[in-house]
């Protein structure tokens, strides 16, 4: 369907076996559905480009799972995204040597998702756009402290939207080696390696696009990923702190390093540091408690080259709630549902996340 001249796609998760289900049953546990609704709502409230959950319906079936106490309740999730076309979709057709389908998908993406009316060099324009969007996706995971858990080609959307939330985690404290999936024993998708994992996905897409585009041109586009990622990390970092970057890149890197030095040294909560320092000096100078808390880091010196993005918005800073979505919170919500069919904690959390989104939109963070 179309909304505001943008195409949206409805997709179900847990509705049964599809041609791509392999040995799975195509079902979704109710706990998995609850987790995805919470995750997609929270990421959306933070301002991350993500799929959204439209509805969650319990089916009355019971499922057997290796990673959950079984039998467990079943559900069907309906989610909304601009697209459900994954890099793995292209791989599927490439494996079957179906060049015609690959070209059809490419043309459809250019027309409906990337609004490319010019047919000239469309495949390379689409690939270039995908590189940019995937770099932004990787940067958003870094800045918002999100560990997706399973970043294979089946979970990377061609539009750069984050989606398909299974064993995810949000960082409580800064742990670069944090993994989310119990089976990720070697840390392939750990927090600090997510940009590498997403870049690997883009490389797989490039290998398929060699059917339509000169290899050397694709390599040149791939080379842009690292710089795009670093630029997006800084952009989103300053956006979260509601301060302007300096014209001096060295000063920008200095404040970024100071931020992570605080996280490593003090073991404060990841969200706590963003919450405390949001607004820069305009906020900190009036908060003796924050100055004392971060005394050893000379905040006045660090922030002196970074003005607030919008002075008016500083008046609304206190309206932005401190909201997290840590593993123990989710487990507590699920326990109430599982044992007593009590959805009050879930509903309260969704309400709190909605208030966070409203406040972030007002302050230009949504």
pLDDT in tens, 182-241: 999 999 999 999 999 999 999 999 999 999 999 999 999 999 999 999 999 999 999 999
Q: pTM for the whole thing?
A: 0.95
- Specify whether the CB–CB gap between 79 and 11 falls below 8 A: yes
**Does 287 have pLDDT greater than 80?**
yes
Of 118-122, 135-139, 165-169, which range is least confident?
118-122
- What is the pairing mode between strands 6-7 and 9-13? unpaired
The phi, psi pair for 189, rounded to 5°, reads: -115, 30
**pLDDT at site 39:** 99
Gap between the Cα atoms of 107 and 119, Å rounded: 9
- Specify whether the CB–CB gap between 126 and 116 falls below 8 A: yes
8-34: per-residue pLDDT in tens? 999 999 999 887 666 678 899 999 999
Burial 318-337 (b: 16+ CB within 10 A, else e): eebeebbbeeeebeebbeeb
Burial 285-311 (b: 16+ CB within 10 A, else e): eeeeebeebbeebebeebbebbebbee
Give the confidence band of 351 by pLDDT, cuts at 50, 70, 90.
Answer: very high
Give the confidence band of 115 by pLDDT, cuts at 50, 70, 90.
Answer: confident
Gap between the Cα atoms of 275 and 362, Å rounded: 16
> How far from the centroid of its chain's Cα atoms is residue 77's Cα?
19
**pLDDT at site 151:** 98
Give the confidence band of 366 by pLDDT, cuts at 50, 70, 90.
Answer: confident
The length of the chain is 366
**Does 316 have pLDDT greater than 80?**
no
**pLDDT at site 9:** 94
Gap between the Cα atoms of 172 and 178, Å rounded: 10
> Can you tell me whether residue 77 is helix, strand or coil?
strand
**pLDDT at site 312:** 63
Gap between the Cα atoms of 102 and 94, Å rounded: 7
**Does 173 have pLDDT greater than 90?**
yes
Q: At what angle do helices 194-209 and 224-241 cross, to 10 degrees?
A: 140
Give the confidence band of 304 by pLDDT, cuts at 50, 70, 90.
Answer: confident
The predicted model gives 122-127 an average pLDDT of 93
Question: Which one from 9, 25, 154, 338 is the annotated catalytic residue?
Answer: 154
**Does 117 have pLDDT greater than 80?**
no
User: Would residue 154 show up in a list of annotated catalytic residues for this protein?
Assistant: yes
**pLDDT at site 235:** 97
What are the residue ranges spanned by the domains of the chain? 1-81+323-366, 86-240, 243-308
- Specify whether the CB–CB gap between 75 and 33 falls below 8 A: yes
The owner of tokens 């919500």 is 333
Percent of the chain scored above 90 by pLDDT? 77
> Can you tell me whether residue 243 is helix, strand or coil?
strand
- What is the pairing mode between strands 146-147 and 169-170? antiparallel
Q: State the CB neighbour count (10 A cutoff) for residue 96.
A: 10
**Does 54 have pLDDT greater than 90?**
yes
């Amino acid at each position: 369907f179309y909304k505001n001249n943008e195409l949206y796609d409805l997709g179900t998760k847990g509705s049964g076996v599809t041609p791509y289900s392999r040995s799975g049953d195509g079902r979704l546990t109710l706990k998995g559905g609850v987790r995805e609704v919470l995750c997609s709502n929270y990421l959306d409230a933070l301002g991350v480009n993500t799929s959204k959950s439209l509805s969650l319906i319990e089916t009355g079936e019971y499922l057997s799972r290796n990673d959950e106490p079984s039998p467990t309740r079943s559900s069907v999730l309906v989610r909304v995204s601009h697209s459900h076309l994954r890099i793995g979709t292209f791989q599927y057709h490439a494996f079957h040597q179906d060049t015609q389908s690959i070209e059809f998908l490419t043309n459809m993406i250019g027309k409906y998702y990337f609004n490319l009316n010019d047919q000239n060099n469309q495949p390379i324009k689409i690939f270039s756009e995908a590189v940019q969007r995937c770099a932004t996706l990787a940067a958003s995971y870094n800045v918002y402290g999100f560990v997706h858990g399973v970043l294979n080609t089946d979970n990377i959307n061609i539009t750069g939207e984050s989606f398909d939330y299974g064993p995810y985690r949000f960082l409580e404290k800064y742990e670069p080696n944090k993994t989310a999936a119990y089976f990720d024993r070697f840390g392939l998708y750990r927090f600090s390696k997510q940009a590498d994992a997403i870049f690997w996905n883009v490389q797989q897409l490039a290998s398929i696009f060699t059917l339509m585009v000169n290899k050397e041109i694709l390599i040149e586009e791939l080379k842009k990923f690292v710089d795009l990622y670093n630029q997006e990390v800084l952009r989103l970092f300053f956006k979260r702190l509601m301060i302007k970057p300096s014209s001096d890149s060295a000063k920008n890197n200095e404040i970024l390093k100071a931020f992570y030095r605080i996280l490593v040294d003090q073991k404060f909560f990841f969200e706590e540091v963003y919450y405390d320092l949001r607004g820069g000096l305009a906020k900190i100078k009036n908060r003796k408690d924050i100055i004392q808390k971060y005394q050893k880091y000379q905040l006045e010196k660090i922030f002196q080259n970074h003005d607030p993005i919008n002075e008016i918005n500083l008046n609304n800073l206190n309206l932005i709630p401190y909201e997290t979505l840590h593993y123990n919170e989710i487990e507590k919500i699920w326990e109430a549902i599982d044992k007593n069919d009590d959805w009050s904690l879930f509903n309260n959390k969704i309400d709190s996340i909605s208030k966070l989104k409203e406040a972030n939109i007002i302050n230009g963070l949504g």
